[in-house]
Structure 1
């Protein structure tokens, strides 16, 4: 048997609100929300990112309670300026700023946000020189 990492799943309160944030991060997500409680997309490299609604998960796991802080996603924005611009766009789309963009000692422009369901979404880019 060969086991390989295949997918990351997010449980969200509202697919549309979640999709609005992740579209800003370059994910190809529908603007019309599917009439199903589960959606997934395959990312470059083959990893799948999946969404399920809280209501859907509770159909098979009634005692499910959402938690925050357990999963973090990081996105390379390509330039320090894009980190700042993406951070601002995410805040406007309903994400929360955890830490505003800064030049980190490890040589990256970095920013930290949380999506509308409390998942960490970090933004980064290498600093010049």
Structure 2
């Protein structure tokens, strides 16, 4: 088989709000993308992160409904344990839901979880 993971996709209820969240995590997304129905960003290493509005998804799947995302999350590595705390605090102060406050996990990481505007889990971590 020659399939390989190439992109991760997020369905956004509010594109501008979703992109603003991911900009806080350091992604270089132009402000002009806030009003686009589809956005793609190529990450270091070639992986792509994609966003589509709910309307775009319904244009090819009319019966689409949001099902939640408890089974998957995106994980962002911070430069230090203190940076995990700082980024978590910034996101929560910006009005995003802190799902799991920073803590020293038994597997050797400072670890926290914040939900993006569409309810997707976003892990923040750094080696202890």
Question: Which TM-score tier does this pair reach, normalised by the shorter chain?
Answer: over 0.9
Structure 1 segment 49-128 matched on structure 2, within 5 A? 49-68=49-68, 69-127=70-128
Distance 1:41 1:57 in 2: 18
Is residue 15 of structure 2 the alignment partner of residue 6 of structure 1?
no
Alpha-carbon distance, 1:27 to partner? 0.6
Distance 1:34 1:19 in 2: 7
Deviant stretches of 4+, over 4 Å? none
Q: Deviations over 1:61-120 (max 9, x none)?
A: 111111222430001011011000100111133321111000111111100111010110
Gaps of 5+ in 2: none
34 and 102 in structure 1: CA distance in 2 versus 1, 3 angstrom threshold:
closer
Alpha-carbon distance, 1:7 to partner? 0.4
TM-score normalised by length of structure 2: 0.93
Alpha-carbon distance, 1:60 to partner? 1.2
More helix by share: 2
Q: Secondary structure of the residue that 1:33 maps to in structure 2?
A: helix
TM-score normalised by length of structure 1: 0.92
Give the structure 1 partner of residue 38 of structure 2: 38
Distance 1:63 1:70 in 2: 22
Is the Cα contact below 8 Å between 1:20 and 1:93 reproduced in 2? no
